[in-house]
Amino acid sequence: MTQYIDKAIIVAEIEKRLDELWNLLPNASNIIKDNYTKEEANIIGKYTTLESFENFINTLEVKEVDLEKEKDDYWNKLCDSEFGELLERDAKWFDDIAKHFFELGLKAQKGE
CA distances from 53 to 25, 28, 61, 86, 88 (A): 20, 20, 15, 51, 48
Vertex 54: Cα angle to 30 and 106 (nearest 5): 140
Largest CA distance in the chain: 77
Residue 62 identity: V
| Mean pLDDT value of segment 36-41 | 81
The residue ranking higher by pLDDT, 4 or 104, is 104
What is the tens place of the pLDDT at every residue in 45-58? 899 999 999 999 98
Task: Kindly tell me the burial class for residue 43, based on how many C-beta atoms sit within 10 Å of its own C-beta (0-12, 13-18, 19 or more).
Answer: buried
Q: Is the pLDDT of residue 1 over 60?
A: no
Confidence class for position 88, pLDDT limits 50, 70, 90: low
Between CA 43 and CA 105 the distance in angstroms is: 37
